[in-house]
Structure 1
Amino acid sequence: MDSIRGSQNYLTKRAIQHISESVFVGLCRKVGTSQLVAMRRDVMDIREMVDNQVRSSDDHSSMKSGSEREGFRLEGSDHDFMYWPNDHRVIWELSQSQYYNTHRQTLVLCDCSNSPPGFTLLYLLSPSTDTGIQTACVQINNRHYISSSKFIQFICSAFIRTSTRHGPCASGTFRTLEYDQAICFVCDFWPPSASSWIDRCHFWPQRHVVDNIVKQGCHFVAIGHKLGCHEHLEWRISFSLAEQKLVYTMNHCQFLTYGLLKLFLTEIINNGLGGDDKLLCSYHMKTVVFWVIQQNVIPHWSPQNLLGCFWVCFKLILKWVYEGFCPNFFIPDNNMFLSKIRGDKQHQLFIRLYGLYEKGLAFLLHSPSIRSCITNVLHNLRLSICTDEHTLISEAGFDKNLYKEIQEHEALHKSSIQSYMRSLQTIEQMIGSPLLTQYQVMMLQRLTANVLNETAFIFHIETCTHKNKLMYRSHKISCQMLKLATKFGCITDTLYIAMYYYKTFRYMEATTIMEMIEVKLAQLHVMYGYNVDIEMYTEAVGGQSWSTKMRQAVARNIRLDNEIHYINELIPEQQSALQNFWPVLYVPPYILLYMLEILCYRHVDTMRVQTALDNLQTLVLHDQGQLIPLHHRDISWQILGICQQVTGNLQAALNSYQQSLRQEPYNKIQTATQMRIEQGGFSL
């Protein structure tokens, strides 16, 4: 704190504490409260656990990494994923081969003899059947080394076709989100070069965390050291899983300090710089927090001392830049500045950072995210700041974040009816565990509803050619699954039953279901996305369990897996999306409801068709983002066109299809739109 007071000598100690408290509150709103961060992590953890158990007999396992996995939801953050083959394992020495069945797993041996700290060569101990690995092999002295550069080149060109190389990752854009996917190798053993880290952990992290981290081993990502002798062959040792566990052990003030450093990086240090000029990265910020916590140089990580914690971290970064040496947290001999921050670039960066240091904490006023947190206190030094996190977010506000988080992570890897059944079995085994948090139970319930809905349609498709008695039994089983899904899902999950009834020509039953859904959706307390009347929501379901709230008060977009044909009228759209590597269509619930009404009333009550069509048209034409999110307007205009076409209004249908083409192509249905225009008999 003394260093801060020295740089801000016109402020009293109490004033600086007030500013720290204000920044703490601002960061809780920007980054998240401890409860929000815990919820995000729990949701991702349980979803990944289920997914990897379902994938266990498949070729690859995966995990989400990076800032999202750590619990951040900062604007502009990439979505980072790691994938590795289950039938390949890396070992450090030949004696470790005894733990594997070499008939089922291909072993890869490390050769660190000529690589810089933190890097290694990998060579096969037996031939690999993996095409990408075969393509990447380079023979040297009768050994087949796996070239990291050839491997990532193959991944970008063949496996992830819309990606470009970014370091060790295949990078691209999925929907509106940027992603980095690292196809890597896994090792079940802790690196010998990182053994000193184990002995260094006296204060932090605790021994059980250290033991768990060491037990999990490490990964290898496809990038070599730029100054090494074998850059194109080398692989970097990745501690992503260990880092995730370390971030999880941080208290909330430590986590917010890390968040403040990330904002400082993006909004001040790297603001306005191009890619090659951004010398410092988020990984350096994470590393400095790790070192500061472990060295125990800060006695109190608290809201009142948040800026003091930040200042200590900033000074250590400044020291590293001055010395040109940033020690990797696990392998300190690995200087993470060596290939990029040196020479003239190092000097210029130090001059810039030292200029900020001389300004003191005043330089944080250049951060748009926290500027107001500081100025509010400066304008009223007697301002009282409440740092109780429970007052920072309402019950309805937290619920919105929970439902959004669940919806964003509800997709499981499923490749066959067998994998759907494995999903249900895995969830059933997990859901009774006393170790689950309440957020994880909610995530499992949502996954259960999804799997049941999708399995019901797949089961129908695979049994629809059976004889009458078997057909009746399969219908009954599918209906039971769909009805069971509504007990775990939300209001709009009942629309899957309506789709199934329409698909199986049970139009009257479908209309009965839809009338019930329409009444439920019209209730004023219903939450759809971020749209909700907070008072009505709280009055209707406040204080009840999240499971009850979801069933009674939550509407969500209808998720259509493009591998499954739900209704014939949307098959062209699903096929178009698949051609563009788009696995899922999301349809706003009111849009699908009116579409099903139109399709069903054509068979049972033609007088009501026009009313349903008018409702759909009014919604699409006049909605202001309340019931049709902006990125779902392409599919909404498309469905309006389909309904107009089936009811004979061709000119209106043509106009709707053309409007669909003018929208953000979020769902990748343009091919279907063009096809409908070309084949619809329109007079253009």
Structure 2
Amino acid sequence: MAVQTISESVYVGLCLKIGTPQHVAIRRDVIDILELLEHKVNSTAYHVTMVSGSQREGFRFKDSDYDFMVWLNDYRVLWDFSQSALYNTHSHALILCDTSESPPGFTLLWLPLEEASRRVLSSCVRINGALYISSAMYRHNTCTIVQPDSTVHGPCSSGRLEGGFEYDNAHCFVSDFWPPSASSWTDRCHSWPPPQVVDDIVRSGCHFVAIGHKLGNHADNEWRMSFSQAEQKLVYAMNHTQFLTYGLLKLFVKEFNRGKIEEEKLLCSYHMKTAVFWAIQQSTIDHWCPQNLLAGFWVCYKLLLKWVYEGACPNFFIPENNMFLNKVHGVAQRNLFTHLNGLYEKGITFLLQTPSISSYIMDVLCNPRLSVCTDEHTLISEVQLDRELFNEIYIRDAVPQNINVPKCIKYLIVVEQLIRSPLRQFQVPMLQKRTATVIQTSAFALHEMYTNTSGDNKQMYIADKKSCYMLKLAAKFGYVSDLLYIAMYFYKTFRHREALSVIEMTKVKLAQPGLMYRTPVDPERYSEAVGGRSWSYKMRHAVAYNIKLKNDICYINELTPEQQSCSLNHRDGLRIPPYILLHMLEFLCCRHVDPVRAQAALDDLQVLVHHDQGVFVHVTLTDISWEILGICQQMTGNRQAALYSYRQSLRQYPLNKINTATRHRIQDLH
């Protein structure tokens, strides 16, 4: 097979492994519109949060961390005093950079007015009589006080999210101005990135993360300049071949570091990203296209080899900042070069000897139909594209914090503004689902507001009418499974027959052969049902996902202990499979009007929990599924069956963190 054909085959393999342009566009569009929405709604919030790292760039590797940058909204970092004229000092605390004694890419942060919040002041030290924010103290305070269940990892506080995913939160400060020490970068941008991207990057300024240079004079007090936002814009500016080259380098370094202890991992993903940036800007390859993907990888690899040989990896924005200075030197440097050079001498074929990379490359090389197909539009079907979009929407659609009716109104106003503005194609369905989620949550919050106060009957009647209207409205543009929020509300307000009517309707919709839930949907049935329709229509008629119950809102009284346990363990809410919730609600409602049907619903629930093979109940949600079965069994007086179910719940993966509630239920039975 010709070299060119092999390169094209690698391109196809990477599209299938990392994503086609449509996959990547979906991932970026969804995060971008959500972040824009949240920033507009919470423009006066104490903190600002930004998704960063590989998730933001468009990668979805199974073991990827979730990276976030968090900064105080009312603080701004300046490079000189003249910039202070642009701020109202009553609403912003100003910090001044002092780079006089710091290595390139690092700075001290000076508080000239010595006025700040308690958290910032508690992180300050005196240097030559002036007050500076210590990076080490700030990192410790944000890690141990703000996030007590996290640990320090570099400049970040690290921990685990729901589903077992690891996160890195970088608590930082922001500057609206581009660093003077990075001014040479703009002069280099003749061929790449485009001028509009350069302007956007410079206008966006930079951040400062809480870690100093190990060889600097003030290692515990310095802050590192972070160009994470600029890097995200540069990755967005790549064409898909460049993006896949970057992805291939990430896969390479992950494999290269496999089995090494942390101290031995001298190369990291950030070095790979830097190599790609330099290779693209230096125009080493005339045309980055599928036929040249391996050539592009080889250029980046040789650049990396050169840096290791010289012991100098220049930061893309501030080349004087040698990112190898701390680690890559002496014996470690020589050993690293020997290893990399040994791979270099094997030629590009060494990639085929790398297990995690060769597996999917060989799949394509052995499949002639895929090998010649570099048109990414033919690599992904309508069903696959829809699944990627709806999965991404589900993952990102968290219930907003501290939601209430006024905040709901604010969300709706911002959504209306955004819908009238130019939006990318995948952003509309994300806005649609987030709006449904906000309305659903607000409907229950409104009900609780009047239930927990001494309002008169007329006020409660009006609030109830509004809540019902909001839930029915949300169901018109949410998932099929969102009908269960209406059923929960009717059960909560003792309208059991109305709840059962909604449950019956939901049963019919969830039983559709073309429904997209967890299992691979039948492409023909799905296409027959909704093929060619808008994503809005598909979402409402052919898509179901797990139900999310926010901890600070009571949806079903019987699940209150589980929500409390979930909250105590720093989870934001319960995740319940729709089929489990449907049978539970049917059982609860029928107990009051039809005992025979109640027993049938319990039997259906028991069969589902005992015998489902991950089709309707994902393995990570078996904890809550066994718990719900136990609750229903206990309500019928079947103590032995309930005890067995609760014990089974404790043996499952603790996604929902309901162990405390389960143990209390077991104690109550004894």
TM-score > 0.5, shorter chain as reference: yes
User: What secondary structure is seen at the aligned counterpart in 2 of 1:624?
Assistant: coil
Please report how far the alpha carbon of residue 425 of structure 1 lies from its aligned counterpart in structure 2 after TM superposition: 2.0
The within-5 A match list for 1:529-548 is 529-548=518-537
- Separation in 2, partners of 1:414, 1:383: 46
**Residues in 1 aligned to 2:297 and 2:638: alpha-carbon distance in whole angstroms:** 64
Aligned match for 2:555, one of 556, 566, 569 = 566
Q: Within the alignment, does 1:421 sit opposite 2:409 as a pair?
A: yes
Q: Structure 2: which amino acid aligns with 1:648?
A: G
Aligned to 1:4: none
Instruction: For 1:219-618, list aligned pairs within 5 A.
Output: 219-267=207-255, 269-372=256-359, 375=362, 385-411=372-398, 413-417=400-404, 418-433=406-421, 435-464=422-451, 465-618=454-607
C-alpha contact 2:383 2:523 (8 A) present in aligned 1: yes
SS state of the match for residue 184, structure 1? strand
Change (3 A) 1:186 1:587: same
After the TM superposition, which segments of 4 or more aligned residues of structure 1 sit over 6 Å from their partners?
376-383
Whether the 8 Å contact between 2:136 and 2:210 is mirrored in structure 1 is: yes
Aligned residue for 1:527, secondary structure, equals coil
Match of 1:178 in 2: 166
Structure 2 SS opposite 1:438:
coil
- Between stretches 246-255 and 600-609, larger displacement belongs to 600-609
Mapped partners of 2:503, 2:14: distance in 1: 44
Corresponding residue number in structure 1 for 2:647: 658
* CA distance in 2 between partners of 1:459 and 1:366 (Å): 60
Counterpart Cα distance in 1 of 2:657 and 2:254: 32
What residue in structure 2 maps to residue 215 of structure 1?
Answer: 203
Is the contact made by 1:427 and 1:444 (CA closer than 8 Å) also made in structure 2?
A: yes
Paired residue secondary structure (1:585):
strand
> How much does 1:494 deviate?
0.7
Report SS of the residue matched to 2:19. Answer: coil
Following the alignment from structure 1 to structure 2, what is the Cα–Cα distance between the partners of residues 379 and 239? 41
Is the counterpart of residue 45 in structure 1 residue 18 in structure 2?
A: no
Tell me whether 1:624 sits opposite 2:613 in the alignment.
yes
Structure 1 match to 2:134: 147
Q: Does the Cα contact within 8 Å between 1:88 and 1:107 map onto a contact in 2?
A: yes
Q: What are the Cα deviations for residues 458-516 of structure 1, in whole angstroms up to 9, with x where unaligned?
A: 00000124212111111110011101101110111010000000111111100111011
Q: Given the superposition, is the C-alpha separation of residues 381 and 422 from structure 1 closer, same or farther in structure 2, using an over 3 Å criterion?
A: closer
For the residues of structure 2 that align with 1:416 and 1:442, how far apart are their CA atoms?
Answer: 21
Secondary structure, aligned partner of 1:523: coil
Q: Deviation at 1:139? A: 1.4
1:105, distance to aligned residue in structure 2 (A): 1.0
Pair 287,530 (structure 1): closer, same or farther in 2 beyond 3 Å: farther
Cα distance, 1:132 vs structure 2: 2.3
Q: Which amino acid aligns with 2:467?
A: S
The answer to whether the 8 A contact 1:92-1:110 is kept is yes
Which whole-Å CA distance do the structure 2 matches of 1:668 and 1:174 have between them?
11
Distance 1:560 1:412, change over 3 A: closer
2:107 to 97, 105, 120: 120
What CA deviation, in whole Å up to 9, does each residue of 1:4-46 have, x standing for no partner? Answer: xxxxxxxxxx711111011000000000001110110000000
| Residue deviations 1:64-106 (CA, integer Å, cap 9, x gap) | 0001100000121111000000011100001111111111111
Given that 1:525 and 1:532 are in contact with CA atoms closer than 8 Å, whether structure 2 keeps it comes out as yes
Measure the CA separation in 1 of the matches of 2:60 and 2:276.
19
Deviations 1:585-624 (A, max 9, x none): 1100011111111111111222211000000001000000
Distance change in 2, residues 1:375/1:667 (3 Å): closer
Measure, in 1, the Cα distance between the counterparts of 2:251 and 2:371.
Answer: 25
Aligned counterparts of 1:458 and 1:577: Cα–Cα separation in 2: 19
Provide the rounded CA distance (Å) in 2 between the counterparts of 1:223 and 1:620.
48
Note closer, same or farther for the CA distance 1:378–1:441 as it changes in structure 2 (3 Å cut).
closer
The aligned residue for residue 3 of structure 2 is 16
What is the SS of the residue equivalent to 1:537? helix
Q: Could you tell me which residue of structure 2 aligns to residue 111 of structure 1?
A: 98
How far apart, CA to CA, are the structure 2 residues paired with 1:99 and 1:502? 55
Let me know the Cα RMSD of the aligned residues.
1.5
2:73 is matched with which residue: 86, 90, 99?
86
* 8 Å contact kept, 1:60–1:83: yes
How far the C-alpha of 1:667 sits from its partner, in A, is 0.5
Structure 1 residues 97 and 596: alpha-carbon distance in aligned structure 2, compared to 1, 3 A threshold? same
Shift of 1:678: 1.3
3-state SS of 2:312 partner: coil
Instruction: Give the whole-Å Cα distance in 2 for the aligned partners of 1:167 and 1:377.
Output: 39
d(CA) in 1 for partners of 2:331 and 2:394? 48
The answer on whether the counterparts of 1:502 and 1:510 sit within 8 Å (CA) in structure 2 is yes
* Alpha-carbon contact 1:30-1:369 (below 8 Å) kept: no
Structure 1 position 378, deviation (Å): 7.2
Q: Which amino acid aligns with 1:251?
A: N
Structure 2 SS opposite 1:528: coil
Q: Could you tell me how far apart the structure 1 residues matched to 2:115 and 2:431 are?
A: 37
Q: Using a 3 Å threshold, how does the CA distance of structure 1 residues 655 and 376 change in structure 2: closer, same or farther?
A: closer
Helix, strand or coil for the counterpart of 1:80? strand
Equivalent position SS for 1:555: coil
Matches within 5 A, 1:639-650: 639-650=628-639
Letter in 2 for 1:406: I
Runs of 5+ unmatched residues, structure 1: 1-13
**Any conservation in 2 of the 1:531–1:626 contact (CA below 8 Å)?**
no
Shift in CA distance, 604/374, structure 1 to aligned 2, threshold 3 Å:
closer
Encode CA deviations 1:381-424: one digit per residue, 9 max, x unaligned. Answer: 99951111112111111111111100111115422413333222
Distance 1:363-1:653 versus aligned 2 partners, 3 A rule: same
Which residue of the partner structure matches residue 125 of structure 2? 138
2:184 aligned residue: 196
Percentage identity across aligned positions?
Answer: 60
Deviation string for 1:118-175 (max 9, x for gaps)? 0000011224443321211001233110000011111111111111111100011112
SS across alignment from 1:532? coil
Q: Is the 8 A contact 1:18 1:377 kept in 2?
A: no
Distance 2:562 2:115 in 1: 39
Aligned-residue offset at 1:660: 0.5
Tell me the distance in 2 between the aligned counterparts of 1:375 and 1:660: 42
CA 1:489–1:375: 2 relative to 1, 3 Å: closer
The answer to whether the 8 Å contact 1:80/1:181 transfers is: yes
Q: Distance in 2 between matches of 1:507 and 1:231?
A: 65
**Residue aligned with 1:108, SS:** strand
- When normalised by structure 2's length, the TM-score is 0.97
CA contact 1:587–1:636 (8 Å) conserved in 2: yes
Contact 1:168 1:223 in 2 (8 A): yes
- Render the CA deviation track for 1:551-602: whole Å, top value 9, x for unaligned: 1111110011111111111111000000000002110001111111111111
2:175 is aligned to 187
Name the count of aligned residue pairs.
Answer: 666
Letter in 2 for 1:502: Y
Matching residue's letter, 1:343: G
Distance 2:83 2:639 in 1: 70
